[in-house]
Structure 1
């Protein structure tokens, strides 16, 4: 199949459908109707001579050929985006599309370099189209690895092959509980080591046993990948768990949450810049990373 401009359009529509999980869900993103989406997919299937997906009452599902095309299209479209950014660099311009990934619940952290970096980069490169996606740490790693994201910022405790991890900043983590948890009205001095070992702790799966071992807990009572999920379980009063203090403050200020043993139960989560190994970084991506690192250095000195 010789690639033409029209084919790139069809592939981008197909990729959007896959990412959204079906024709109906892709309508608002593509801003076109279901019948038009169906026609575009039919055109792509005709061009390729294979059926790419099953759609109907049973829902949306990729065929084996559709899975293969999805992987190939990600590589092709990623390469096209990089070419567009690099060709703009030849003209001494910063333009194109920059796809950035981040974890949730970082905006309230005054030490995070993300917001000042986005602000300054937007002023320095107003022609760049910035797309921001929020996901779990493992989800961000997969998206950078397959080219759907140019870079991501988050905590990645276990490094996986094919990715580069550049240290950026640290985020403090504290231990919290909420009423009606029995420890909410207990003084820290009254909490014993044995009680901590039997606590119903909400585990962050991607950290392994780090938090469990700190408290001496044998196994977690619950496991979540998101900050909001941990906060929900802690606020139920049935569990204790670690949260960033900047995020927990909204409940502390209303007496709905309490920090436990702040001197003893405190950790620091390392945030890193994640990029794909072995791939030259376009000038636009390098420029954004420079703004991230400059903002992180400024935060350390203030």
Structure 2
């Protein structure tokens, strides 16, 4: 089919509905009534000849065709956004939509350059709209590869072909238990690794091997992709697990969490910027990439220009 402006508008509406989780939740974002949204989606389905979603008393859910269209629409809209950015660059203007991926639970990390970079970039390029997606590292890699994201920041332990990985900053990870866990009574003690191996570990799905090796365990009792889920398991008292100290600190302050033997049980996540290998960046993407690196230097107190090329 020939893609027209109307199709792009309907696809963007479709993507907004998915991000909101249904027609009702999308109403205030789209500033449309539920009946109008339903009518527009019917137009898109008629245009494509596909049933994209089920809606009604059973709730909102994508059909198999709808899920496939969602992936294709993200790639198409990402390419359109890139075109707009490049067209603006020809007029010496930084504009368009920049699609950026990051992991959750980084906001309280004082070593993260993301807030500084976003602030400085927003001042330098006020006409660029940031579209931020919170994803797992694996999803971000896939979405940068297929063009749904222009770039992303996160910990990527197994680097894959087709992507460039630029070091950005490092995040500490400490081992924690809850106030109801047996280890809590041993605060301040040196805990032998043999003792830790008798407890259940809640590990990160994408970094579990690193944690298991440090604790000399053969397998984790639970795996979870996000920090909040891991914190919930640890706070239950049934598991120990690694958390960023900046994230765990509020519970440490109230006595609900305790950091276990911090001199011996510590790991680090190396955060990197990922971009597609061999691809010439749009000026907007290149500018944001540079702002991330400059912000990392600023947060570390490194003088600009001293970064190794």
TM-score by length of 1: 0.90
What secondary structure, in the 3-state scheme, does the structure 2 residue paired with 1:229 have? helix
Aligned to 1:180: 180
Aligned to 2:168: 168
Distance 2:60 2:100 in 1: 27
**Comparing 29-38 with 109-118, which one deviates more in the overlay?**
29-38
Distance 1:2 1:240 in 2: 55
Could you say if the C-alpha distance between residues 261 and 190 of structure 1 is closer, same or farther in structure 2, counting changes exceeding 3 Å?
closer
CA contact 2:208–2:220 (8 Å) conserved in 1: no
What secondary structure, in the 3-state scheme, does the structure 2 residue paired with 1:170 have? strand
Aligned to 1:86: 86
Q: CA deviation at 1:219?
A: 1.9
Q: CA deviation at 1:55?
A: 3.5
CA contact 1:179–1:236 (8 Å) conserved in 2: no
**Mapping for residues 108-257 of structure 1, pairs under 5 Å:** 108-189=108-189, 191-257=191-257
Q: Which deviations, in whole Å up to 9, do the C-alpha atoms of 1:88-126 show, x marking residues without a partner? A: 111111111112221111111111110110111111111
Could you say if the C-alpha distance between residues 202 and 281 of structure 1 is closer, same or farther in structure 2, counting changes exceeding 3 Å?
same
**Comparing 237-246 with 133-142, which one deviates more in the overlay?**
133-142
What secondary structure, in the 3-state scheme, does the structure 1 residue paired with 2:131 have? strand
How many aligned residue pairs are there? 302
Q: Which deviations, in whole Å up to 9, do the C-alpha atoms of 1:65-98 show, x marking residues without a partner? A: 5444434322221111111111111111111111
Q: CA deviation at 1:24?
A: 3.4
What secondary structure, in the 3-state scheme, does the structure 2 residue paired with 1:130 have? strand
CA contact 2:53–2:61 (8 Å) conserved in 1: yes
**Comparing 279-288 with 129-138, which one deviates more in the overlay?**
129-138
Distance 1:266 1:258 in 2: 14
Q: CA deviation at 1:176?
A: 1.3
Aligned to 2:30: 30
Aligned to 1:98: 98
**Comparing 24-33 with 193-202, which one deviates more in the overlay?**
24-33
Task: Give the CA RMSD over aligned residues.
Answer: 2.2
Distance 1:68 1:202 in 2: 33
Distance 2:297 2:211 in 1: 28
Q: CA deviation at 1:184?
A: 1.2
Could you say if the C-alpha distance between residues 129 and 251 of structure 1 is closer, same or farther in structure 2, counting changes exceeding 3 Å?
same
**Comparing 161-170 with 266-275, which one deviates more in the overlay?**
161-170
Q: CA deviation at 1:129?
A: 1.1
**Comparing 58-67 with 276-285, which one deviates more in the overlay?**
58-67
Distance 1:169 1:135 in 2: 18
Q: CA deviation at 1:205?
A: 1.0
CA contact 2:187–2:258 (8 Å) conserved in 1: no
CA contact 1:204–1:225 (8 Å) conserved in 2: yes
Distance 2:66 2:32 in 1: 22
Distance 2:243 2:200 in 1: 15
TM-score by length of 2: 0.89
**Comparing 268-277 with 120-129, which one deviates more in the overlay?**
268-277
Distance 1:251 1:110 in 2: 18
Q: Which deviations, in whole Å up to 9, do the C-alpha atoms of 1:125-160 show, x marking residues without a partner? A: 111112222222223233333333222111111223
